[in-house]
Amino acid sequence: MANHPSALKRYRQSQRRRLVNQMNRHKLKTQIKKLRAAIAAGKGADAKPLLPATLSIIDQSVQKGVIKKNTARRYKSRLAKRVNGLPA
C-alpha cells in the first residue's frame, strides 16, 4: 500500500476508474451477447431492433477507450452481416 498522500490519491482515482471501466465493458459484452443469442435463435424479428442499439454501444465503447477502433469495426461488420443474413 502507498504511503505518500499523492500516491494514496492516485490509488483512489485508479479504483474509481477501474469501476467505471468495468461497467462500460460489462455493458458492451452484455449487449453483444443479447444480439448473438437472438441471431443464434434465428429470430430476425428480435435481432433487427437490437442491432442499432448494439452498434451504438460499440461506438460509445470506442470513445471511452474500452475497445480499439478496428476491433469495433470488426464487431460491427460481423454482427451486421449475420443479422442481415437472417430471414425476416
pLDDT tens sequence across 41-57: 988 888 999 999 999 99
Who contacts 11 (Cβ-Cβ below 8 Å, separation ≥6)?
1, 2
Task: Return the exposure string of 32-69: e unless at least 16 CB atoms fall within 10 Å of the residue's CB, then b.
Answer: beebbebbeeeeeeebeebbeebbebbeebbeeebbee
Domain extent at residue 51 = 5-84
Say how far apart CA 29 and CA 35 lie, in whole Å: 10
Total of domains in the chain: 1
77: cell is: 461488420
pTM (two decimals): 0.85
pLDDT tens digits for 17-31?
999 999 999 999 999
Supply the CATH number for residue 11's domain.
Answer: 1.20.58.110
